[in-house]
Amino acid sequence: MSFFNRVLLLIVLFVLSIPNGFAALTIEITEGVESAMPLAIVPFASQSAPVNISSVVNADLERSGYFKMMAEQSMPSKPSTAAEVNFKDWQSLEQNYMAVGQVVDVGGGRYNVQFQLLDVYKGGQLLGFRMTSSEADLRRTAHHISDLIFEKLTGKKGVFSGRIAYITTSQGNKQQSHQLQVADADGYNPQTVASSVEPLMSPSWSPDGKKIAYVSFERKSAAIYVQTLATGERSRVAEFPGINGAPAWSPDGTRLALTLSKDGSPDIYVLNLSTQAVNKLTKNFSIDTEPSWSPDSSSIIFTSDRGGKPQIYMVPSQGGEEKRLTFSGNYNARASFSPDGKNLVMVHGNGNDYRIAVMDMTTRSINVLTSGPSDESPSFAPNGTMILYASKKGRTGFLSAVSLDGKMQQKLVFNSGEVREPAWAP
């Protein structure tokens, strides 16, 4: 089967196989790092706060895989300030770090939230913050605390305050309804960005996280839309004859790389969003698709079957010589750069086995991270440490995440329904 026919088949299977409904997801840690640090998030003292902030923080850090979280029932006490901590009690339980805090209702729907991160063995404070939050933003405040703790203890930026986009489909009485959804990184607060009885696909975040580009078939043919999340305002930016697909934002947010077949075979183009001018980058009778920008905007990588089977190629973003990047495996597709530009993540296949792999841009060595056999649509987290991707077991599709070194893995399970094409917000 040709690469292009395989792409069409995957689209059809996606449209037909998604069961009814969608819901907030739960996260299962399937594999964690061996060196997970013992950490206790003591329940924050609270005056009837509507969100259990310490519980959210605990869940965030637990699913990162970097920490071995202490169960609440195992805690020797429930201090809310460093002054109340008897460090010897916690040392005897072999806890490295602990966090304590308070949430105080100050009226008018506002809350003062304060916390301290403590080094149990040194008996001192590593981090301390106080912030004011509205009731509506309490979960976001909790995620911010998680980010602060994660960065302090690992030296890496946290991603708990981020968002993810994905596609889901629900079945009505007579027809399917396709939704583009945006949710918090932990699956809470799902919001419908777009809905159509025709397929939606290929969500792509703008660099500032304020807009999403996506493909819609709502007018019975493919078109690319850009939608502002805060207002819902959207514009149709590409509706040429034939294929309009795979939009990808430039790092400065002024252009979209996309796949068009208006001149015949599918090629890579760059669309200037201000002038609507399009610049054709590839000119080949093969199928060129799935463009993605390098972090410095100098290059665009894409998938092409010009060598007989899908492989990853690179072309200067202003046009020029095209260069093949991958030679290992029968199938390499859907590639994108890590935020630092040092690695490419891709779908790596042999036969009917498709897994998520990372290629080092210096050595060109490929490291396979997942077990397959139906893994697809990888997306780097903003800090470059995790990769979100879609997977399938039988006819059941779900999202998963894996660390860059493959040592930590998560399975993101929706309570009902199925999701595809995940995209992590910048």
Q: Can you give the pLDDT at residue 34? A: 60
175-184 burial, b if ≥16 CB within 10 A, otherwise e? ebebbbbbbb
Amino acid at 82: A
Q: Is the dihedral of CA 68, 73, 76, 82 positive or negative?
A: positive
d(CA 292, CA 302): 6
Distances (CA, A) of 23 to 186, 189, 249, 388: 12, 10, 28, 18
Amino acid at 343: N
pLDDT per residue over 25-65, tens digit each? 555 556 665 678 999 999 999 878 899 999 999 999 988 88
Mean pLDDT along residues 239-261: 97
Least confidently predicted of 166-175, 248-257, 260-269: 166-175
Q: Where are the domains of the chain?
A: 3-29+162-424, 35-154
**Cα 339 → chain centroid:** 13
**Tokens at residue 353, please?**
């086995």
Q: What architecture (CATH level 2) is domain 35-154?
A: 3-Layer(aba) Sandwich (3.40)
pLDDT exceeds cutoff 80 at 7:
no
pLDDT exceeds cutoff 90 at 413:
no
Environment class of residue 194 by beta-carbon count within 10 Å: exposed (0-12), middle (13-18) or buried (19+)? buried
Amino acid at 242: G
> Yes or no: is domain 3-29+162-424 CATH 3.40.50.12240?
no
Confidence label for 414 from pLDDT (cuts 50, 70 and 90): low
For the chain, the average pLDDT equals 89
Q: Can you give the pLDDT at residue 176? A: 80
pTM of the model: 0.88
pLDDT per residue over 313-329, tens digit each? 999 999 999 999 999 99
The phi, psi pair for 368, rounded to 5°, reads -80, 130
**Cα 137 → chain centroid:** 21
